[in-house]
Structure 1
Amino acid sequence: MNLIEALGSMTGSLALTLVSFLGVLLVVVFVHEFGHFWVGRRLGVGVQAFSIGFGPELYGWTDRSGTRWKLCAIPLGGYVKFVGDASAASTPDRAALDQFSEAERAISFPHQTVWKRAAIVAAGPIANFILAIAVFAGLNYVNGRQVLDPRVDVVQAGSAAERAGFQPNDLIVSIDGRQIESFSDMQRIVSASAGEALTIVVQRGSETITLQATPDLKEQTTPFGKQRIGLLGLQASRNPEDIRRVDYTAIGALTSGFSETWYVVDRTFDYIGKLITGRESTDQLSGPIRIAQVSGQVASLGGLAGLVNLIAVLSVSIGLINLFPVPLLDGGHLLFYAIEAGRGRPLSERAQEIGFRIGFAIVVLLMLFATWNDIVHLGATFSSRGT
């Protein structure tokens, strides 16, 4: 079975996988690039091209301002090319810039003040965060949220919860001082706290009791690879009285949007920290193949709402990754601008060139590694199915 057939069978429909993947990716990429474009235009910088994808142009048009809007053959990203940019990565061509007229300098990206350039570059990731907040808030405002109270139904034998002294019908009030409103609130904290002692306050009848529990470490397989999580060994109450629906006001939904976005950011940094210390596996690093697979699965199981939620999660991830201080990424440009602002002049052209080459190598290596992870994961999935 080849790779394309594998993807199709895993999601039930190759067409659904491709359409879902392209839809999710194009929305996230468009919003990111539109952030650069919108702020650049507002600051008076000329835009030569707005591209979704790389490589040969499939379709395009030129607007009244002279910007070429285009859809290209390789839809794994995009770029905005400003006046004065030598490439899609906004690297300047110094020789060409020296030949610019005063009118061209006025709208040239490299000739803008460092603060304007920084604002334009930062606008892409910021747009991704705004999209995520809006999506999370919108879903909660329209659909509300089904909440399961953090009440214990079963304490598994031999579990960390049993060792800590949990009992059926305990209602969890707080963990390490953080208020717990739902069973999922507890799961989020516990899953990220394997091997860490937690102070848990529970309501037991008319008494308030404080327990000390250390979640056990368990490795589980997810669509994004193996994940090491913490488990207490508690099952939620099945009593219908412990299930409630929460409807949000506009302000409440917006607050929830910020909260959900921050949760994705926090979990990402938590994963990176644990990866550095050897407590997480690198096989969670995913490339386009696994994102396509997950998009198809989400579309099959969760429909449009599931895909919209996936757009929000990926938008946070894309925004955050782009802020990493790696030359070639937005964060690398911002690092150069910070150095320029601090020393009063930019780094030498040679230093910037070396930085961009290093950044390019890092990005390519990460892409290759993530794609290899995808292939290994795909092979392991089908081996376990006996295909």
Structure 2
Amino acid sequence: MDTIINLAGIGDSVLGYLVPFLFVLTLVVFFHELGHFLVARWCGIGVKVFSIGFGPEIFGFNDRHGTRWRLSWIPLGGYVKFIDDDNVASAGQKSLDSLSPEDCARSFQAKPVSARAAVVAAGPIANFILAIVIFTAIFSLFGERVTAAKVDVVNPGTAAARAGFVAGDTVISIDGQKIESFGEMQRIVGTSPDRDLHFVVERGGKTVEIVATPERKEITDRFGNTLRIGLLGIQRTAAPDNWTLQRHDPITAFGMAVKECYFVVTRSLGYLYDVVTGREAADQLGGPIRIAQVSGQVATAGFVALLNLAAIISVSIGLLNLFPIPMLDGGHLLFYGIEGLRGRPLSEYSQEIGFRIGLAFVLMLMVFATWNDLIHLKFL
């Protein structure tokens, strides 16, 4: 009986991760592929298949333009297949001689390089647009709980104590950036371990400049995940009177949304730079399993939190796809840029070698990310 109860508990746990994961990934992938699809249609390119997922089809339908819209069994991405594509990765095209004159005119490869580049770039751009729309909706409709960047407690022996912070200080700016809430200050400090930060604080009606270096610490969040972040050692009292719920007008919310996307991009690039330079370990890189795990955890905090995660992942996927790696959208854009400069495309052999190298890199990255996922696995 205990075994049956345990198995039932495992089933509930997996389902609790799977449903939020499918919601987040399907939303992000759908809008990415929709960007490719819409611009392709505007450019007069024939689209054979619009698929969410890979592998055998679960269900689908044909629209009046002959495009097959389908949902497939393997929910780890999606694709738009053009009328002259040999495969779902658009890594090769059929010979135009094998197409009818009508299909040849609607083929992807028959379009000018500017149109092809626009179609490819539309996917990542759609991801950024989706994220901005979600962030704007959250800031305007649901708002955010904020409190002033005031220091109520300075823990002894910490970086803040050594730098000269005292209880009652209110942080005005960090490295010249205006600080409007304690959460904003936390985020800058958390993403800047071992880096000197220049604070301007208000103390007794006067401004004081402080240079402090957040210490790199390992903490465990409420879900049991281990995180490495920067800590100063200051606290804000969690009294209800110290917190307010702020909803913003659409224009202000839009500006905040763009700023939020910019933060995700710079933070992602900064982390990758730190990995390359040896300042950070690469064990924080994750794949589908980690996304599923985090989706399930975040879903327990509510639907708005899950939407916020979807926006963050959408920015990350848009950024990743712009990397100049063959097999990714950025790799295609690299080839089109070279074609634009040369006045003719690279040879089929050169492109094939590029795609093989890109495929090998992507597969190695997937294996590495999955290994990290399995090491940190906390499903059960």
TM-score (norm 1): 0.92
Q: CA deviation at 1:29?
A: 0.6
Segment of structure 1 superposing worse, 236-245 or 69-78: 236-245
The residue aligned with 2:181 is: 182
Segment of structure 1 superposing worse, 235-244 or 122-131: 235-244
Change over 3 Å in CA distance of 1:89–1:46 after alignment to 2: same
Segment of structure 1 superposing worse, 192-201 or 72-81: 192-201
Segment of structure 1 superposing worse, 191-200 or 68-77: 191-200
- Aligned-partner Cα distance in 1 for 2:123–2:258: 18
Q: CA deviation at 1:240?
A: 4.7
Q: Secondary structure at the match of 1:111?
A: coil
- Aligned-partner Cα distance in 2 for 1:276–1:299: 33
Give yes or no for the alignment of 1:153 onto 2:152: yes
- After TM superposition, the structure 1 = structure 2 runs for residues 370-381 of structure 1, keeping only pairs within 5 Å, are 370-378=369-377, 381=378
- Aligned-partner Cα distance in 1 for 2:43–2:266: 32
C-alpha contact 1:153 1:169 (8 A) present in aligned 2: yes
The residue aligned with 2:269 is: 269
Q: Secondary structure at the match of 1:152?
A: coil
RMSD: 2.1
- Aligned-partner Cα distance in 1 for 2:280–2:182: 24
C-alpha contact 1:85 1:110 (8 A) present in aligned 2: no
- Aligned-partner Cα distance in 1 for 2:224–2:272: 15
The one-character-per-residue Cα deviations of 1:156-177 (angstroms, maximum 9, x if unpaired) are 1001111111100100111111
The residue aligned with 1:43 is: 43
C-alpha contact 1:8 1:17 (8 A) present in aligned 2: no
The residue aligned with 2:121 is: 122
The residue aligned with 2:32 is: 32
- Aligned-partner Cα distance in 1 for 2:12–2:303: 16
Q: CA deviation at 1:21?
A: 1.0
C-alpha contact 1:145 1:245 (8 A) present in aligned 2: yes
Give yes or no for the alignment of 1:213 onto 2:212: yes
Change over 3 Å in CA distance of 1:156–1:373 after alignment to 2: same
The residue aligned with 1:254 is: 254
C-alpha contact 1:218 1:229 (8 A) present in aligned 2: yes
Q: Secondary structure at the match of 1:117?
A: helix
For 2:231, the aligned partner's letter is L
Change over 3 Å in CA distance of 1:182–1:324 after alignment to 2: same
Q: Secondary structure at the match of 2:152?
A: strand
- Aligned-partner Cα distance in 1 for 2:344–2:220: 50
C-alpha contact 1:37 1:47 (8 A) present in aligned 2: yes
Change over 3 Å in CA distance of 1:124–1:194 after alignment to 2: same
- Aligned-partner Cα distance in 2 for 1:172–1:298: 30
C-alpha contact 1:54 1:77 (8 A) present in aligned 2: yes
The one-character-per-residue Cα deviations of 1:257-282 (angstroms, maximum 9, x if unpaired) are 11111111111011101111111121
- Aligned-partner Cα distance in 1 for 2:355–2:37: 22
Change over 3 Å in CA distance of 1:347–1:26 after alignment to 2: same
Q: Secondary structure at the match of 1:189?
A: helix
Change over 3 Å in CA distance of 1:256–1:87 after alignment to 2: same
Q: CA deviation at 1:7?
A: 12
- After TM superposition, the structure 1 = structure 2 runs for residues 1-387 of structure 1, keeping only pairs within 5 Å, are 9=10, 13-94=13-94, 96-221=95-220, 226-238=226-238, 240-300=240-300, 302-378=301-377, 381=378
Gaps of 5+ in 2: 1-5
Q: How many residues align?
A: 375
Q: CA deviation at 1:237?
A: 3.5
For 1:127, the aligned partner's letter is A
Change over 3 Å in CA distance of 1:25–1:238 after alignment to 2: closer
For 1:264, the aligned partner's letter is V
The one-character-per-residue Cα deviations of 1:49-96 (angstroms, maximum 9, x if unpaired) are 0011111111111111110111111110000001111111112335x2
The one-character-per-residue Cα deviations of 1:336-386 (angstroms, maximum 9, x if unpaired) are 0001001111000000001111111111111111111111112xx58xxxx
- Aligned-partner Cα distance in 1 for 2:298–2:262: 22
C-alpha contact 1:227 1:280 (8 A) present in aligned 2: no
Q: Secondary structure at the match of 2:88?
A: coil
The one-character-per-residue Cα deviations of 1:169-227 (angstroms, maximum 9, x if unpaired) are 10011111110100111111111222221211110111111111111121335679654
C-alpha contact 2:264 2:315 (8 A) present in aligned 1: yes
Segment of structure 1 superposing worse, 229-238 or 320-329: 229-238
- Aligned-partner Cα distance in 2 for 1:366–1:273: 16
Aligned identity (percent) is 54
- Aligned-partner Cα distance in 1 for 2:362–2:99: 32
TM-score (norm 2): 0.94
For 2:288, the aligned partner's letter is P
Q: CA deviation at 1:244?
A: 2.6
Q: Secondary structure at the match of 1:13?
A: helix
C-alpha contact 2:93 2:109 (8 A) present in aligned 1: no
